[in-house]
Amino acid sequence: MAYYFSEPSRTFSEYLLVPGYSSKECRPENVSLATPIVKFRKGERPKTAMNIPLSSAIMQAVSDDKMAIALAKEGGISFIYASQSVESQAAMVKRVKAHKAGFVKSDSNIRPDQTLADILALKQKSGHSTTAVTEDGTAEGRIVGLVTSRSYRVSRMPLETRVSEFMTPLSELIYAEEGISLSEANDMLWDNKLNALPVIDKNGRLTYFVFRKDYDSHKENPNELLDEYKRYMVGAGVNTRDYEERIPALVESGADVLCIDSSEGYTEWQRDVIAFVRKRYGEEVKIGAGNVVERDGFRFLAECGADFVKVGIGGGSICITREQKGIGRGQASAVIEVSQARDEYFEKTGVYIPICSDGGIVYDYHMTLALAMGADFLMLGRYFSRFDESPGNKLNINGNYVKEYWGEGSNRARNWQRYDFGGDSSLSFEEGVDSYVPYAGKLKDNLGLSLSKVKSTMCNCGVLDIPSLQRDTKLTIVSATSIVEGGAHDVILKEQTSSMR
């Protein structure tokens, strides 16, 4: 007969952390949230680690190059979504890798025969006030001038004025030649009181910009996640269909870590993808796999050679896999069991394989619970989709600002490769929804508050790092009535009284 789990399938909301002894050292500024991303042997350091335990989901509505840059600045990593062409995904990865080291590819370019109206439209679209004027209007064209916000006054110039009439021509620009170091470029910025320094190759083509704001940004973001060349780190999703083409392109583009994007990871297809990576690249290319919800799935992917294992089926806010198929497991139960399997594997083999909790995070405190239950890092979709840096459109619905958020299993994403087992394509069905989430503003402002809560909670538990949280924390299951007790109760909230009038 079928196997029945003795315990019910539980969610994060069914648990609370129990405070532990806190010494005077238990202050948020002393807490480290550093965590490994990929496997390592006992006594060794992981090759790839994060400064915060958060990654953004492999979703069209969440992880593009803009999100990847914003999250890397804070110490986390994005996995660029795979439900796009190989060329498009590789280009996103390249833009992230090119952005750092202070050398930025220009994404605001115009021809000299265009007009002030075109400049204003481009500024509205890109948000940038510095525009490169190149012969062909591309980022790699021969540069002929530069336009900044000081170059024109809208109130005193006709919109038909050609760019060539008000740009600063190349002959009057201070620029650097290709090959200059970042330190030398920053010195030129400061010595010449510049906001932007064009870097030009021997053929007069624009290769990069170095911006003063990026120097300031580095000082403001001490947790930046950088590779050995001081470039932002970025991950990328792959599927189990075109991986033989996609993976080499992503490796060539500079992706630091890959992850198989699939609704269910306990499959022969995932074994084939990992085998392809190991045969072609050995252990140099890092690839995670998943998703699984119990120990057998973890062991399978661990023995296949996965560098990390993703946990969770059906727990995402836009996922309807459980409704459609009746498969999955409460995220808390899944994380607890897979964490135990991870520890058993480590004890047996000496190889530690990090696990990533994917889904089920509704409140900030769920982050701390997931980490305490054994997750090494978390993958979040809805959380990051709310921010300016996500790809979704910002809309005003009934007087409230929202962002669009849709699942990879929705008809909008049409990422059938993520769920498909083959067969007649006409029989495909949705496993995700198309929705809105409340707009929340900039990533940096919100993420800082969320991580502050995590650190504060860890201090209440008497721990200063994630391994100690996993080892020393006490957790308790909560009853339905204690959940009610945990919120505001038996009072009339002020906002309710104002609505009664």
Distance CA 239, CA 418 (A): 7
Distance CA 132, CA 147 (A): 6
Distance CA 59, CA 76 (A): 16
Query: 231, 246, 386, 418: which one is catalytic?
Result: 418
Query: 259, 304, 319, 461: which one is catalytic?
Result: 319
Distance CA 375, CA 496 (A): 39
- Cα distances from 26 to residues 29, 412, 466, 469, in angstroms, run 9, 47, 13, 12
Cβ contacts of residue 374 below 8 Å, gap of 6+?
A: 335, 336, 338, 339, 340, 342, 343, 355, 470
Phi-psi category of 362—alpha, beta or left, where left has phi over 0 and alpha has psi -120 to 50? alpha
Catalytic, 319? Answer yes
Catalytic, 418? Answer yes
Three-state DSSP at 51 gives coil
Helices and strands, counts by H and E, the chain: 17, 25
Beta bridge partners of 205: 142
- Cα distances from 483 to residues 316, 326, 488, in angstroms, run 21, 27, 10
DSSP output for 427-491: G----B-EEEEE--B-HHHHHHHHHHHHHHHHHHTT-SSHHHHHHH-EEEE--HHHHHHHS--SS
**What token pair was written down for 222?**
């001490």
Catalytic residue positions? Answer: 319, 418
